[in-house]
């Protein structure tokens, strides 16, 4: 599949049926797998042979879909997880332990921010948050001897900042640690972080990859580029024998291309069990089959809506990386030449009250705590996810009370704009 273009990989990578086999990916709805001898099974437990024994660790349906996502990102190995949260936790915890330190962009998904700043802190893992707009010197200053990973999002949810992946990768590598990029919003159709130097890529497949709001899921892809053994002192989990796996040293036995995902599956999936169900993986794959067709439409609608909103008297400001004049326009031109995603945010001049009136009158855009599926939806953080905050706190967090996030779906853009127009006119 590696010779084919991305569009073809979206449709066909990960599964090639043999003669007389099902054309569609089979859903292997089985928790367990049968073997003739205990010796056969013993080899699987020793990681001496590859195969399936229990769906908490690996399942053929999930593996086929993971292989497709790895092919799309240009990585050497991939795995599915039960959610995007699980993917980011696994990607970090696979190389961090009590006493480690992470450098992370401050402009990331709220759930990931809590995961790193609160929950992983309880595990003894420290973090330094840096601006996505940090200079090389500012980034360098965030590192410590115990730094083990750098983390950021290509296009941040919900701030819509664009990360300078090349710079973050350069600095991470200068300090001997990998760069982990959450590429949920652009998807590999619009950006492939590995091509810019990222080492590990994560996804909430719940969003555009599934694309229909039908299954929660996540994915991790390894570029196979990071040389763990060259920094063996930093990554003992990969570079010294794992006593819970009969003394296997992952980086030696599975090499650069396989060590990260093998360890993540063999240890973290075994112990935490955040596996995706084969049924969900099947639904995810249906979404992936049209990802390359859907993303350009999400971008077309997002761009049209952003341009429309920018001209409206009721609107104070619009954030959309590929909108001319956006703070991230130049960076978007470099990293997102075909556009970013369908999520647009705008601040209404009338604040919270205007946002409430506007959203109440929208007919096509439903009010949802969700983004990135076929149906347009919207959210006012001040009256929903950030409801407990005062006006002052909201402003300090960069979330003005009148901010509305609109996730443009796949409807006709003229219908979307007409709907937004009539709702804006109600504000009065």
Point out which residues bind ligand PLP (CB under 6 A).
Answer: 83-85, 109, 111-112, 153, 157, 182, 184, 204, 206-207, 216, 218
Cβ 180 to ligand PLP shortest distance, Å: 12
Q: Which is nearer to ligand PLP, 112 or 301 (CB)?
A: 112
C-alpha span between 248 and 329 (Å, rounded):
47
Q: Which is nearer to ligand PLP, 184 or 267 (CB)?
A: 184
Taking each helix axis as running N to C, give the angle between helix 60-73 and helix 278-288, from 0 to 180 degrees, rounded to the nearest 10: 30
Q: Which is nearer to ligand PLP, 64 or 201 (CB)?
A: 201
Q: Which is nearer to ligand PLP, 161 or 204 (CB)?
A: 204
Q: Which is nearer to ligand PLP, 84 or 287 (CB)?
A: 84
Taking each helix axis as running N to C, give the angle between helix 413-425 and helix 351-360, from 0 to 180 degrees, rounded to the nearest 10: 130
C-alpha span between 395 and 383 (Å, rounded):
14
Tell me the three-class secondary structure of 114-131, residue by residue. HHHHHHHHHCCCEEEEEC
Q: Which is nearer to ligand PLP, 90 or 109 (CB)?
A: 109
Tell me the three-class secondary structure of 302-366, residue by residue. HHHHHHHHHCCCCEEEEECCCCCCCCCHHHHHHHCCCCCCCEEEEEECCHHHHHHHHHHCCCCCE
Decide if 140 contacts 177 (C-beta within 8 A).
no
Count the helices and strands in the chain (H runs, E runs).
19, 12
Cβ 112 to ligand PLP shortest distance, Å: 5
Q: Whose CB is nearest to ligand PLP?
A: 84
Q: What is the DSSP string of 204-220?
A: ETTTTTT-SS----EEE
β-pairing, 218-222 vs 200-204, is antiparallel
Q: Which is nearer to ligand PLP, 75 or 84 (CB)?
A: 84
| Closest to 221 (Cα-Cα) out of 94, 76, 109, 86 | 76
Cβ neighbours of residue 40 under 8 Å, at least 6 residues apart?
49
Q: Which is nearer to ligand PLP, 216 or 251 (CB)?
A: 216
Cβ 336 to ligand PLP shortest distance, Å: 15
Cβ 90 to ligand PLP shortest distance, Å: 12
Q: Residue 177, Cα to own-chain centre: how many angstroms?
A: 20
Cβ 59 to ligand PLP shortest distance, Å: 19
Cβ 89 to ligand PLP shortest distance, Å: 10
Cβ 363 to ligand PLP shortest distance, Å: 26
């Amino acid at each position: 599949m590696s010779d084919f273009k991305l569009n073809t990989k979206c449709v066909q990578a990960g599964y090639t049926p043999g003669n007389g086999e099902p054309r569609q990916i089979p859903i292997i709805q089985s928790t367990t797998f049968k073997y003739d001898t205990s010796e056969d099974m013993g080899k699987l437990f020793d990681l001496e042979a590859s195969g399936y024994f229990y769906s908490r660790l690996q399942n053929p349906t999930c593996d086929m879909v993971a292989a497709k996502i790895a092919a799309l990102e240009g990585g050497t190995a991939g795995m599915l997880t039960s959610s995007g949260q699980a993917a980011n936790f696994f990607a970090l915890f696979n190389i961090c332990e009590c006493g480690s330190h992470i450098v992370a962009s401050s402009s990331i998904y709220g759930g990931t921010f809590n995961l790193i700043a609160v929950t992983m802190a309880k595990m003894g893992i420290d973090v330094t948050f840096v601006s996505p707009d940090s200079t090389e010197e500012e980034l360098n200053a965030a590192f410590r001897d115990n730094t083990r990973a750098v983390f950021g999002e290509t296009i941040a949810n919900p701030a819509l900042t664009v990360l300078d992946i090349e710079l973050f990768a350069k600095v991470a590598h200068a300090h001997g640690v990998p760069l982990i990029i959450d590429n949920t919003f652009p998807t590999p159709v619009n950006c492939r972080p590995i091509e810019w130097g990222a080492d590990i890529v994560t996804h909430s497949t719940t969003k555009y990859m599934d694309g229909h709001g039908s299954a929660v899921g996540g994915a991790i892809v390894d570029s196979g580029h990071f040389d763990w053994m060259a920094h063996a002192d930093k990554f003992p989990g990969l570079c010294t024998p794992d006593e819970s796996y009969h003394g296997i040293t992952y980086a030696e036995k599975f090499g650069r291309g396989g060590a990260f995902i093998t360890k993540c599956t063999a240890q973290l999936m075994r112990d935490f069990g955040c596996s995706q169900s084969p049924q969900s993986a099947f639904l995810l794959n249906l979404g992936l089959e049209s990802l390359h067709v859907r993303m350009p439409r999400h971008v077309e609608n997002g761009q049209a809506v952003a341009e429309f909103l920018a001209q409206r008297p009721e609107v104070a400001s619009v954030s959309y990386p590929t909108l001319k004049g956006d703070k991230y326009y130049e960076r978007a031109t470099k990293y997102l030449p075909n556009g970013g995603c369908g999520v647009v945010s705008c601040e209404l001049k009338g604040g919270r009250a205007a946002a409430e009136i506007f959203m109440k009158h929208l007919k096509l855009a439903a009010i949802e705590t969700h983004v990135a599926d076929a149906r347009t939806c919207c959210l006012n953080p001040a009256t929903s996810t950030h409801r407990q905050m005062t006006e002052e706190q909201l402003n300090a967090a960069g979330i003005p009370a009148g901010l509305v996030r609109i996730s443009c779906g796949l409807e006709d853009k003229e219908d979307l704009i007409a709907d937004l127009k009539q709702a804006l006119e109600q504000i009065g």
